[in-house]
Amino acid sequence: MPTYLVTQALTGPQWDPGTPLEEQTDWAAHLDFVTGLAERGVMLLAGPLAGGRLILQVVEAESEDAVRAIVGADPWNDSHLRTTSVQEWILRVDHRRTSSA
């Protein structure tokens, strides 16, 4: 069974709440980074909760340290996003997975 970890991040000091996402500074670099993670199957889900200040990311990785290294390499790390927690997600229901029995 894969290990999923969920990060919680808040918008950082360079995030401008009056500017659309795609117009934030360093957007292209951040987009390239997370797209690469998604293409490799590392970043499974990501996005803000309603209200926009709290961001959740679901990552498949071996450990909390591995996830912190991954998000630490994001060009937006500590500027636009500040990770506040990383926790293992014990997934109990996943309708996407089918039993081989």
Query: 82 and 9 in contact (C-beta within 8 Å)?
Result: yes
Domain range summary for the chain, segments of one domain joined by +: 4-86
Alpha carbon 64 to its chain's center: 13
Residue-wise pLDDT tens digits, 35-58: 999 999 999 999 999 988 999 999
Total-model pTM: 0.86
pLDDT (0 to 100) of residue 96: 76
pLDDT digits (tens, 9 = 90+) for 2-36: 799 999 999 999 999 999 999 999 999 999 999 99
pLDDT of residue 24: 97
Cα 95 to chain centroid distance, Å, stands at 22
Q: How confident is the model at residue 101 (pLDDT cuts 50, 70, 90)?
A: very low
The fourth-level CATH superfamily of domain 4-86 is Dimeric alpha+beta barrel (3.30.70.1060)
> Would you place residue 1 in the very low, low, confident or very high pLDDT band (cuts 50, 70, 90)?
low
Residue found by looking up tokens 């803000």 in the block: 48
- Give residue 5's pLDDT: 97
**86 versus 93: which is more confidently predicted?**
86
19/22 Cα distance (integer angstroms):
8
